[in-house]
Amino acid sequence: MCHGCVKEEYPERENMCLDNGSFLRNFAGCAECRKLEIVRIENRKCTEDENGIELVTYQHVCLCCGHIIGQHEYTFKVEGEFQVYQMECILCGNGEDERSILPVDPRGPQLM
């Protein structure tokens, strides 16, 4: 993970959890080649363990020189009556969200 390529390391993204894509607003430019180009996604893998937890991982890579900007991790799991999403990435940030699997959320209406 490259600290020189991002404006802010692991920005707080609240309930935003991405299983694909890049948060380009946080990209300062490649620390290796000094270019500010589109970030490529490489080595995307999706796995599921015996507990039903889905894990998506991939790397953010500089389009020009191949420098690895960061490693992105996204998880999805079901806990009781809720779907839980989590994201951790130096570029895209940290986020966590929880959604009810029931037609009506037992916690009541959620404020945005």
**Radius of gyration for the chain, computed over Cα atoms and rounded to the nearest angstrom:** 16
The domains of the chain are located at: 3-100
The pLDDT value recorded for residue 110 is: 63
CATH fold of the domain at 3-100: Immunoglobulin-like (2.60.40)
Question: In the chain, what is the straight-line distance between the N-terminal and C-terminal CA atoms, in Å?
Answer: 32
More confident residue, 107 or 88: 88
User: Does pTM top 0.75 for this prediction?
Assistant: yes
Instruction: Output the six-digit token pair for 86.
Output: 């989590």
The pLDDT value recorded for residue 7 is: 96
Average pLDDT, the chain: 91
* Cβ-proximal residues to 23 (8 Å cutoff; 6+ apart), any chain: 11, 13, 89, 91, 92, 93
| pLDDT tens by residue, 25-55 | 999 999 999 999 989 999 999 999 988 899 9
